[in-house]
Structure 1
Amino acid sequence: MKVLVTGGIRCGKSLYAENLLADASAVTYVTPGYAADPSHDPEWAARVYNHQKRRPRHWTTIETVDIASALRAAESPVLIDCLGTWLSRTIDGWGVWEKPFEQWRHRFDDALMDFLDAWHGSSQLTIAVTNEVGWGLVSEYPSGRLFADLMGRLNYRVGGASDDVVLMVSGRALHLGSDANYHR
């Protein structure tokens, strides 16, 4: 089973996803987030710490941007938290924020297809947390508009490849199910 958990900032996405796996004897927790460095960014470090202290000790944490490989290697249910962080770190790693998208679109398409292949191929219960970023104002910055566009594409593709999509709103889970009309 594949589940995509989506919603806005601080709406309960991660906690909901973690609770879906509360009874699992083992979980592979894949985080593509930036390392927590309290001297550099104390607010980010506090967020990371709060996520870490909620996780059961028997869960295995893998910190990597290569979420497709981590998913392929997992031998237990998988929780990926989160796709928005993965996307921003991936683009940061390519160093292409200021370049026209058409110059590096193939890199995005390849990374997305690699992840979707791993998502489809996983025999484990797999849950991914993602962000809904397209419901607010359109960014005045090209990089913000690009990020929102790419998150929309990413969420569309992963949601369409999922057995259930859960929209979190104010701590409440709305099950959107799967879309029989979705085409890859």
Structure 2
Amino acid sequence: MGHLVLVTGAARSGKSEFAEWLAIQHKGIVTYIATARSNSQDPDWQARIERHRQRRPQSWQLEEVPLQLSASLERWSGPERCVLLDSLGTWVANGLEETEEDWGDRRDRWLQSARNFSGTCIVVAEETGWGVVPAYASGRLFRDRLGEVTRRLGAIADETYLIVAGRVLNLSQIAAPLPDIL
């Protein structure tokens, strides 16, 4: 089996940069899977995407995958491969209009693909829910779906890192997993 790494943290904490650093350490082929969709009507969003592009080494392959992550992971799987997926939150947001059943199917297929990936899979996920409960249904749905998929990913990850204020905490070394209470 491969090596599954979760890098999570708040906005602007440094999680993408740390995940990129981990991928740079990999000696094989690196594929960057971007879940963000370009939006020419939003200059700030385009600038964020461009900052990510400029940081990546030219040798990395790029695949833009707004929804079908499981198919992408299956395509890039291989022992010498490294996939950096950035980000899980954007992937969740891209499918917020899905029914609970469709979301559950897509989420479960992706988690199975991540578990079965035969190379190194580094996943960036935003932490949400550390503040107030969102006032709008779509905000609550996003927070709940992202929180659930991140929790499930953390349960199967070989390594989990929390990035806070530019500091890296290796949760795999300092924290115990949540007991299986369900």
What TM-score results when the alignment is normalised by the length of structure 2? 0.89
8 A Cα contact 1:160 1:182, kept in partner: no
**Equivalent residue runs for 1:26-175 within 5 Å:** 26-37=29-40, 40-64=41-65, 65-74=67-76, 75=78, 76-91=81-96, 95-96=97-98, 104-175=99-170
Letter in 1 for 2:33: V
Task: Give the SS at the match of 1:77.
Answer: strand
Distance in 1 between the 2:181 and 2:64 partners? 32
Q: Which residue of 2 aligns with 1:100?
A: none
Structure 1: stretches of 5+ with no match in the other structure: 97-103
8 A Cα contact 2:23 2:122, kept in partner: no
Task: Give the SS at the match of 1:135.
Answer: coil
Structure 1 pair 83–183 and aligned structure 2 pair: CA distance change class (3 A)? farther
Structure 1 pair 157–43 and aligned structure 2 pair: CA distance change class (3 A)? same
State the Cα deviation string for residues 39-67 of structure 1 (Å, max 9, x = none).
Answer: x1110001000000000011001001211
**Equivalent residue runs for 1:18-29 within 5 Å:** 18-24=20-26, 25-29=28-32
- Per the TM alignment, residue 22 of structure 1 is displaced from its structure 2 partner at its CA by 1.1
What TM-score results when the alignment is normalised by the length of structure 1? 0.88
State the Cα deviation string for residues 4-55 of structure 1 (Å, max 9, x = none).
Answer: 0001000000000000011334201101111152xx1110001000000000
Distance in 1 between the 2:39 and 2:100 partners? 30
Distance in 2 between the 1:20 and 1:172 partners? 15
Q: 1:179 aligns with which of 150, 170, 177?
A: 177
8 A Cα contact 2:10 2:164, kept in partner: yes
Structure 2: stretches of 5+ with no match in the other structure: none
Distance in 1 between the 2:48 and 2:91 partners? 16
- Per the TM alignment, residue 179 of structure 1 is displaced from its structure 2 partner at its CA by 2.8
Q: Which residue of 2 aligns with 1:6?
A: 8
Letter in 2 for 1:46: A
8 A Cα contact 2:86 2:123, kept in partner: yes
Letter in 2 for 1:12: G
Letter in 2 for 1:69: A
